[in-house]
Amino acid sequence: MRRREFAKIAALGAIGAVAAPTVVRAQTTFNWRMTSFYGPNAAFYSTGPGSAKDLISRIEAMSNGRIKIQFYGAGELIPAAEGFDAVSSGTVEMNYANSYFWTGKSFAAQYFTAVPFGLNFQGFNGWYYDGGGAQLWREVYDRFNLVPILCGNTGVQMTGWFRKEIKTVEDFRGIKMRIPGLAGRVYRELGVDARLIAPGEIFPNLERGVIDAAEFVGPYLDRQLGLHRVAKYYYTTGWHEMATASELIVNKAAWNKLPADLKAIIENACAACNVISEAWCQKNNAEAMEDLVKNHGIIAQPLPDDVVKALRAATNRILAESVAKDPITKKVHDSYMAYKTKYDAWADLSETIYHTKIRKG
C-alpha cells in the first residue's frame, strides 16, 4: 500500500511539473542610431546588397528585433566627417564609413581601408580575419572608445578619369585632381594639385574644368556619376586602392552592454556584408566596363610603367616617414607588410600564374 501511495504522489508531482507555467525571462532590446559618411541613397554604401541599410536589416532579422537601428545618411543628423567623433563621444552608437577618413586621428587608420600598392580583397581578408588585422584595428581605436568591424569592400578600384592622356610623370605636373587620403599625398609628390571633393560635386567640377581628373570608385559607380561624359581616359588598375574596405564603428560602452549573442550577430552580419558587397561590385563593374568601352568610346588602359614606378617610390617615402613618427602605426605597418610578403609569394604561384598563363591559354 505504501508503494502505491508513493507512486500516486510521484505521478501527481510529475503532472504538476509539466502543467506549471513556463517562465520566460524578458530579453533586453536595444534602439540604436547609425550615421554615415555617405548620403542616404548612395549606391553600394547606403543602398543595395551589402550596404549600410542591408547590414541593418540583417542585424535586426538575425536578432529577431532585439537590436533596432535607425539610419541617418550624411547631413541628416550630423555632417559626414563627424561620425568618428559622434560615436566616440556616445552621441550615436554606430557610424558607417571608411577608416582612412580618420587618419588625422591616427595614421594607422589608413591600413584598414587601403594602402597604395597594398593587399587585394582576398589578401586583406586573410590579414584581417586570420593575420592579426582585426585585433590591431581594435587596438588602434580603443583609446577613442570605439570598436571597429570590417563590413564591406569595393574590391579593386580604378586609378581614375583624365581629360588628357598620361604618357610620362611630367604629364602629372599642374593637374588638378579629385583624390582623397594618402593617394592625394602621393600625387602631390609628383606635382599634382590634389583636392578632396564630395562625390556629388565631382561631375560638375570636372565638367567645368575646375579639376582635370578625378578618382571615385569603379566603373559602375563612376558611370552613375556621369564621369565618362566629361573625361575620355580611364586608367586602371587602382594602384592606390587595391581593395577598399568599409568599416562599422560602435561606441565601446554601448558594445559592452550587449550580450554575447548580439555581439556575434553584429560581427557575422558584417562579415556577410563584406563578402556580398564585393560580389555586387564584381558583377556590376564587369557589365559597366563593357558598356563604357563599347558604347561610350572610353579608352581604358594601365598607367605607363615609369609613372607606376614613380608613384611606388613616393608611396614608400611617405609610409616610411609616417611609420617613423608613430609606434602604433609602425606596429600595424609591420604586421601588414609581413603578411603581404607571404601572401604575395603565394599569389604569384596561384592567382598570377592563372591570370597570365592558364586563363589566356
Domains of the chain: 30-155+243-283 (3.40.190.170)
Q: Is the pLDDT of residue 359 over 90?
A: no
Q: Cα(228)–Cα(237) distance, rounded to whole angstroms? A: 17
How many C-beta atoms lie closer than 10 Å to residue 130's C-beta? 10
Phi first, then psi: what are they for 352, rounded to 5°?
A: -65, -45
Whole-model pTM?
A: 0.89
Which is higher by pLDDT, 16 or 135? 135
Question: Strand pairing partners for 94?
Answer: 34, 250
Query: What does the pLDDT look like over 244-297, one tens digit per residue?
Result: 999 999 999 999 999 999 999 999 999 999 999 999 999 999 999 999 999 999
Q: Is the pLDDT of residue 17 over 50?
A: no
pLDDT at 222: 97
Query: What does the pLDDT look like over 26-71, one tens digit per residue?
Result: 589 999 999 999 999 999 999 999 999 999 999 999 999 999 999 9
Cβ atoms 334, 326 nearer than 8 A: no
What is the average per-residue pLDDT within 110-124?
Answer: 97
- What is the residue-averaged pLDDT of the chain? 92
Sign of CA dihedral 144, 184, 118, 126: positive
